[in-house]
Structure 1
Amino acid sequence: MASSQDSQPFHWHYAELEDRDFQIRGRTLFFIIVLFSFVLVFTLIFVYSRWICSFHRDNSSTPSPTSHAPPQPRPEPRGLDPVTINALPITMVTRGRKSAAAAAVALESECCICLGVFEDGEKVKVLPACQHSYHSECVDRWLSAESSCPLCRASLRAESELHQIPVIVTQ
């Protein structure tokens, strides 16, 4: 008998699939409206925040040629010019005798840029602002990009301006 029930063809009628009895009432309708409202509000906030972010990003970029903003001044170069770098005093490292310049170099035993030890008879540059000493190659490379002492950040810009200002005497 079980086999006869399994072999019956499936018959359905269109009238059986109608949804006349389907109704949304009470709490179900309320929850659907609340859920739809949350999704709508969240979507609007997301779209608004994206618009605000893109608006601020566009305003913070460089001004367009048609805007009436004043031109931005060029940034001053950070390094020293080669003439000023070459004008810095060079001292020989001597461990035996103590001259005034060698005494300052003797206090420092290594170059703080490359961490190489100063050898006897080696040439080092002494910065006039702070009396710190470095290998010539190391400090020259540093001063071409920066205008301060690598160790104490004492500015060397004032010394470079003295070399660049021409003196004109008129009578």
Structure 2
Amino acid sequence: MNGTAVFNLKNAENGREQAITDGKVRSAGVSCYYMKEIDDFLPKVMRRPVLVQNEIHPYYQDRKVTAHIQRLGIAVQAWYPLGGRGYTEALLGNKILGCIGKKYGKSSAQIVLRWELQNGVAVIPGSGNPEHIKENISLFDFELSGEDMEIIAGLNRDEKHDWY
């Protein structure tokens, strides 16, 4: 597998994370773990995951879950940080995000990604478009105001865009 080891903590044999112990991987994370899942899981493993990847975007913020995982000392990463396949255009076309973007001279995508970063959520947006890739990394020369953070928080619809 080209030096990349895939390891699923959920299936750790006898509570041992052998791939980590053997040095095949440095750390592991889980996906789609919410409060019950992470709380049930942690007592079963010797090494807690370093990251939980969950769907997070302005229309599905899941703030209680994110805060719970972060309090456990586990990083949270946004799955579908820009709304997900079939939903990105609608999210990035949101007029409120567009107005905030104009204020900072940034695109709606940059506003969303910066909002997630300021909430302590890691983002890795995918794109094959070189212009979008450049735009997606240009997030560190501005900071959203507290007021703008609250405005974006107000966009929450508890609207999941994935099947799980």
Report which structure shows greater RCO (CA 8 Å, sep ≥6): 2
| TM-score w.r.t. length of structure 1 | 0.25
| TM-score w.r.t. length of structure 2 | 0.26
